[in-house]
Amino acid sequence: MFKNVFGSGFLVRTAHVVLTWIITLILFLYDTELRKQEETGQVLQPVLFVLLVLVSVLLYFAVSLMDPGFILSEDSDLQFTLGVTEEQQDMIPASAKSLRRRRCAHCLLQQPMRSKHCQACQRCVRRYDHHCPWIENCVGERNHRWFLVYLAVQLLVLLWALHVTWTGFGPAPSWRPWLRSNGVLLAVGALLALLALVVLLLLGSHLYLVSINVTTWEFMSRHRISYLRHCGADDNPFDRGAARNLWGFFCEWGGVAWEQAYFREGSDPV
């Protein structure tokens, strides 16, 4: 279920964890709200903050090391064409009554609908969304929801840390001594603000795509994907309405046969 922690993403994961705990330590070393509460014996908020940071780090490792939905099985009876990307291979037969699964031109595995070969991982991933360099892993069918949970927790940590940083700024008679005494906190605050903005935009965009049941890959490459390029600009064969899409994404476990969802019973392709 989990990949090797010492794999290709070891340096990225180490840098993420080290930076997280360095910033946390700085917030306790300077005269911030957390340090004042700790010194006066009010340990509830400091403990909650540290626990939330710990939860964010654990979620980061879980999403980073989790199997995103790698395809392992294959069917040797199916025909495939080398030299044609999986985006362009036809999955829609003329009868429109059933789908043939395409073959990956790279690893030659049978791909269910909405799957894609990741060049970075060198594996095919079910309901492929994107490869995230931040976690050094693909985001796919098995870890996509946990990726969004991680983003939500990370955003909460960043906003709380930004507030704590603000409480640590002290007064000074002029800007030079103020900068000398608050320069580290200012740098930390700027970094936190930038990261919070990135995470907010990332979380918002993913929630929107989930609400319409479209992956990042499908949204960016719609014009090239064989099972979507024939659809109208506003047509999505997987969309069941925002409420059902969100419920299915967060609350329904197990794989989905997207080939069945693609066709309405006894009809042509949506």
One DSSP character per residue, 161-196 reads HHHHHHHT----SSHHHHHHHHHHHHHHHHHHHHHH
- State the sign of the Cα–Cα–Cα–Cα dihedral 78, 79, 82, 87: negative
Closest CA to 112 of 16, 244, 192, 227: 227
Task: List 102's β-bridge partners, or say none.
Answer: 111
Beta-carbon contacts of 159 under 8 Å, excluding residues fewer than 6 positions away, are 196
Task: List 263's β-bridge partners, or say none.
Answer: 269
| CA 2, chain centre distance (Å) | 16
104, 118, 124, 132: the catalytic one is 132
Rounded-to-integer distance, Cα 13 and Cα 61, Å: 8
Q: Would residue 107 show up in a list of annotated catalytic residues for this protein?
A: no
Amino acid at 188: V
Task: Give the distance between the most distant pair of CA atoms in the chain.
Answer: 80
Q: Which residues are catalytic?
A: 132
